[in-house]
Amino acid sequence: MKSKPTLHRTTIQIMVNGRQITAQKGKSILEVCKEASIFIPTLCYDERLEAYGGCRLCLVEVKGINRPLTSCTTPADDGMEVTTESETLTRLRKTMLSLILSNHPNDCMCCDNAGDCTLQELAYLYEVKPGKYEGERWDLPIREDNPFITFEPKKCISCSRCTRICNDVVMAGTIEMSGRGFYTMPETAFGKPRSLKNCEFCGQCVSTCPTGALTDRKGRGRGRSHDVAKVKTTCSYCGTGCNFYLHVKDKKVIKVSSDYDAPVNRGNLCIKGRYGYDFIHSAERLKTPLIKKDGVFHEATWDEALGLVANKFKELIAKYGPEKVGGFSSSRCTNEENYLLSKWVRCAVGSNNVDNCARV
């Protein structure tokens, strides 16, 4: 007699703060709580990275276990009963934040990341005041030895998010945690300045930093989070379709930040997407069509320019035939624009000579 096939459940039931939650099997307690909009504080967690459990702020209590567990590294199990807020957890979190602030500069008034700093938000939430633990403090200079990234070692909390995203996501291996104990911090090999030889300047380390330790040098001092309008857009440098936010102040783009909910890139960007926005406000950028007359360019209306182009194409087609005309499109354009070019060449010109810069 054949045995019945075993049905493997893909969901589990977990109790969080007395609330029954249906979750996908294999997820961590933190992931389950985030999906259920239950807040758990973190500093070393980034959804793009493997769970680390270093900051110890995501501690939760699980019934039947006599010690707090890090929610980011603990898998949610069927029937588990979890508590995310208690007097014990609050005391532990306040202690951890106090220890971090014991070696952190109290310069939020002039910090570029004020209002957009996870450490600042958590210290305010848990009413943590600096000065509870006294001792040696870092007194390290700001490093601006490259054109894109500013590193303020005094604000580093050694969460290792920057080194993990550099090694595990970008796979560039530019920085690694260096030193021991009190002197641990992210550093390049032999402390050499970042350059195109050892860094891709993608800014991924900046995007994941939870404090003001790593910031975009191009946008420093040009506006805090409450000063700017964030406009979601799509990168135009290639056909991948990465999304990000333009930070706009006084009608000028001053910075680019990641969109972690973007379906294509999930917050990841390359050097072009993150830092290649200077062309937007370039003085050399054309704002009106130009027509060359007697070897000199003159400003023209769109009707004049398009009429001239149409007449030139008609003359070429009449003289050489439509098969001598083709269109070469760009992946920096949208799919719709590339489609229109293809349709124009095939229907208006009568040629099948269409190509794209991304073709291999």
Contact between 241 and 358 (Cβ < 8 Å): no
Q: Which of 146, 164, 262, 238 is nearest to 201 (CA)?
A: 146
Cα gap 68→61, rounded to integer Å? 5
Measured between alpha carbons, how far is 350 from 346 in angstroms, rounded to an integer? 5
Check residue 9 and give its pLDDT: 65
Instruction: Tell me what percent of the chain is helix, strand and coil, each rounded to the nearest 5.
Output: 30, 20, 50
Task: Identify the structural domains of the chain with CATH numbers, from first to last.
Answer: 11-85 (3.10.20.740), 135-281 (3.30.70.20), 290-356 (no CATH)
- Residue 342: both structure tokens together: 């293809």
Q: Which amino acid is at 163?
A: T
Alpha carbon of residue 229 to chain centroid: 17
d(CA 141, CA 204): 22
pLDDT for 331: 76
Burial class (CB in 10 A: 0-12, 13-18, 19+), 197: exposed
Q: Give the pLDDT score at 213.
A: 96
DSSP-derived letter for residue 146 is S
pTM of the model: 0.84
Cβ-based burial of 85 (10 A; exposed 0-12, middle 13-18, buried ≥19): middle
Alpha carbon distance 316, 298 (integer Å): 23
Token duo for residue 53: 């459990």
187, 179 contact by CB (below 8 A): yes
**CA-CA-CA-CA torsion for 281, 285, 287, 289, nearest 10 degrees?**
-170
- Each residue's pLDDT expressed in tens, for the chain with a length of 360 residues: 455 555 456 899 999 999 999 999 999 999 999 999 999 999 999 999 999 999 999 999 999 999 999 999 999 999 999 999 999 999 999 999 999 999 999 889 999 999 999 999 999 999 998 888 888 888 899 999 999 999 999 999 999 999 999 999 999 999 999 999 889 999 999 999 999 999 999 999 999 999 999 999 999 999 988 899 999 999 988 878 899 999 999 999 999 999 999 999 999 999 999 999 999 999 998 889 999 999 999 999 999 999 999 999 999 999 999 999 999 998 778 788 899 999 999 999 999 999 987 775
* Interior angle at CA 213, CA 209 and CA 217, nearest 5: 95
Assigned token pair, 112: 């570029």
pLDDT on residue 58: 97
Q: Determine the pLDDT at residue 97.
A: 96
8 A C-beta contact, residue 202 and residue 214: no
pLDDT at 1: 46
7-to-4, 11, 78, 144 alpha-carbon distances in Å: 9, 12, 16, 58
The rounded Cα 210 to chain-centroid distance in angstroms is 12
Q: Which two tokens stand for residue 5?
A: 């096939």
What dihedral do alpha carbons 213, 214, 217, 222 form, nearest 10°? Answer: -60
